[in-house]
Amino acid sequence: MPIRAIRSWIPVLALMGACVGAVSCGGSDTPDLPDTNATAVMDYLEQVNYQESWELWPGFGEMHRGGDPHGTLLTTYLNPVALDALNSKSGSMPDGAIIVKENYTPEGVLDATTVMFKKAGYNPEHNDWFWSKVGADGSVQKEGKVEGCQACHGDVRDNDYVFTGSLQ
């Protein structure tokens, strides 16, 4: 190859080099959805900085009132996929929907973070929700196809196991 031709390639090669190791290159800068385990989910939430980048459940401010078993003060976030499904009254949450609920003590101290994460094919018997509960200290208290979460949220099975607002 003549020198001139090689030189014309240098900027292209430099550009390709710059892409290696970058979080994204030309695509979206949202990381891939996590695996179905609590640690991966919490890492993901940190990565996307959900408290800044996701919306609160419409009509509910930070530290809204809740009941048993989640605690008196709750802050509930929806990722964009979940928010879309809620706003469009689609009847259920699609693959990739994530709902995060922070549970606070009456004094306003974070006690635990509970998550519902919809993963197509994960658990068809219970609408494919992955459940997790992680203490404020980072300890995993519950994760997976959690019987207790499924049983109680099963009361609103017709609303895709979601209590806070109607999806219809």
Residues that bind ligand HEC (CB under 6 A): 66-67, 69-70, 74, 76, 99, 101, 114-116, 131-133, 142, 146, 148-149, 152-153, 162-164
Shortest distance, CB of residue 164 to ligand HEC, whole angstroms? 3
What is the distance in angstroms between the CA of the first residue and the CA of the last residue of the chain? 64
Burial annotation 19-31 (CB, 10 A radius, 16+ → b, else e): eeeeeeeeeeeee
Q: Are 153 and 70 in contact (CB under 8 A)?
A: no
CB closer to ligand HEC, 30 vs 60: 60
Shortest distance, CB of residue 117 to ligand HEC, whole angstroms? 9
Residue length of the chain: 168
Question: Which residue shows structure tokens 């802050």?
Answer: 75
Shortest distance, CB of residue 19 to ligand HEC, whole angstroms? 36
42 contact partners, CB below 8 Å, separation of at least 6: 113, 132, 134, 138
CB closer to ligand HEC, 36 vs 76: 76
CB closer to ligand HEC, 8 vs 135: 135
Shortest distance, CB of residue 159 to ligand HEC, whole angstroms? 8
Question: Which residue shows structure tokens 């240098």?
Answer: 10
Shortest distance, CB of residue 122 to ligand HEC, whole angstroms? 14
CB closer to ligand HEC, 26 vs 167: 167
Report the C-alpha dihedral over residues 51, 135, 119, 26, rounded to 10 degrees. 40
CB closer to ligand HEC, 59 vs 67: 67
Q: Which residue type occupies 119?
A: K
